[in-house]
Amino acid sequence: MKKIKRIIQEILAIKFVRSIVTTWNRYFLSLVSSNRLFATIYSLINPITFNREQYALLRGRAQYYRNLSKVQSSNVRLRRNTHRLEKGLSMEPRRNSFALEYIDETIESYESIIAALLSNHVTIDECELLWATDVLEAYFSAVQLTPRLKQLQTRFKNAKKIANLKKSATTRAPFQRKKSPPNRVDYNDLLQLSLRRRSVRWFEDRSVPRELIDKALMVARQSPSACNRQPFEYRFYDDPKLVRNISSLPFGAGGYSHNIPVICVVVGKQENYFSSRDRHVIYIDSSLSIMAFMFALETLGLASCPINWPDFEPLEIKMQNTLGLQAYERPIMLIAVGYPREDGVIPFSEKKPLHTIRSFNKIT
């Protein structure tokens, strides 16, 4: 009887504490969120909450400008400007003069990559270079050539000639949609794939071929990305010791991390951006890619489980130290990958009805 009484008292005490915390949060957060001044004051007296994101953003911007003087396998500025040129070439009606504010720096980036290619100081992404070449050729053919643009065109042609690039079978310049590969997947196929994909937490005890992961990534890399910068990296770990260590870091994998064959950490890279306005793009672009990756895994007989990564300072420090991340590299989420156990139980996860997540012409 005393034991039952003690349990009841503990339950009541917990309810009382929860009630106090709920009431405090309700009124305190209503106060500090009532205007932007109070929100700013709150962030000043509670800096830890957003400090790591702010620090990563500043370090990323600093690294972006440092990288401008470095030659890397993939050039962020060239990728961004090439995609901007693509959008200009795709406009209707197409203007006979555009990109004048950034075409100079595009050619400069192109020349620096050609120079690095010839010096063999770094391995250059040849596909990226061929893409930039085809788009620049299309650009100079489309615009009205002023004396300034003629000079830039000459520099481009000279750099291209020096590089002696092999012409690819298909152009990488903008093309009409009707020339896209035919669609072999109908709506019902896609719907069934989405219904089959579930977060799987119980996997067979067998290794995952790395070539299957690469196949899934071939789909994932086709996801849309702001200015085609793809500001993320998929880090896979299939060494059992590393898998156990890394998968034990997030809160949400405690009950099943011991049976994960492959763990992936998707890392966002803030050094792809020069402005704080783009600070959330690493999360958007990564998430678009991750969903495509998980769908592709399903078609290959594999399953996955995205694992939430909270912006929690102690865990961030552990992950940074474990993976050797730079200050401007942020973990987006983790993904468990493996062959699903057919007898493993998966949540049904009823989704919200359409009317709760969809509206038309809504203005509030």
Range of lowest pLDDT (5-19, 200-214, 259-273, 291-305): 5-19
Q: Taking the C-alpha atoms of 293, 78, 278 and 280 in order, what is their torsion angle to the nearest 10 degrees?
A: 10
Positive/negative CA dihedral, 72, 73, 76, 78: positive
Q: Report DSSP state, residue 326.
A: -
The secondary element (H helix, E strand) that includes residue 281 is helix 281-299
pLDDT > 70? residue 1: no
Backbone angles phi, psi at 86, to 5 degrees: -60, -45
Averaged over 260-274, what is the pLDDT?
A: 97
pLDDT at 301 over 70: yes
- The model's pLDDT over 193-239, given as tens digits with 9 standing for 90+, comes to 999 999 999 999 999 999 999 999 999 999 999 999 999 999 999 99
Mean pLDDT of 291-298: 98
Q: Is the pLDDT of residue 123 over 80?
A: no
Q: Alpha-carbon distance 284 to 276, whole Å?
A: 15
CA–CA separation, 349 and 198 (whole Å): 8
Q: What is the reported pLDDT for 238?
A: 98
Whether 116 shows a pLDDT value over 90: the answer reads no
pLDDT digit string (tens) for 140-198? Answer: 999 999 999 999 999 999 999 988 877 777 889 999 999 999 999 999 999 999 999 99
Amino acid symbol at 20: I
Q: Report whether pLDDT(121) > 80.
A: no
What is the average pLDDT across 341-360?
Answer: 95
Q: Is the pLDDT of residue 299 over 90?
A: yes
Whether residue 105 has pLDDT greater than 80: yes
Say if CB 325 and CB 59 are below 8 A apart.
no
Going by C-alpha positions, the residue among 190, 140, 185, 181 that lies closest to residue 160 is: 140
Q: Which pTM value belongs to this model?
A: 0.90
Overall average pLDDT of the 331-354 stretch: 96
The answer to whether the beta carbons of residues 108 and 114 sit under 8 Å apart is: no
Quote the percentage of the chain above a pLDDT of 90. 73
In the predicted structure, residue 96 carries a pLDDT above the cut 90: yes
| pLDDT exceeds 70 at position 127 | yes
- Burial (CB < 10 A; 0-12, 13-18, 19+), residue 103, is buried
- Residue 56: the pLDDT is 94
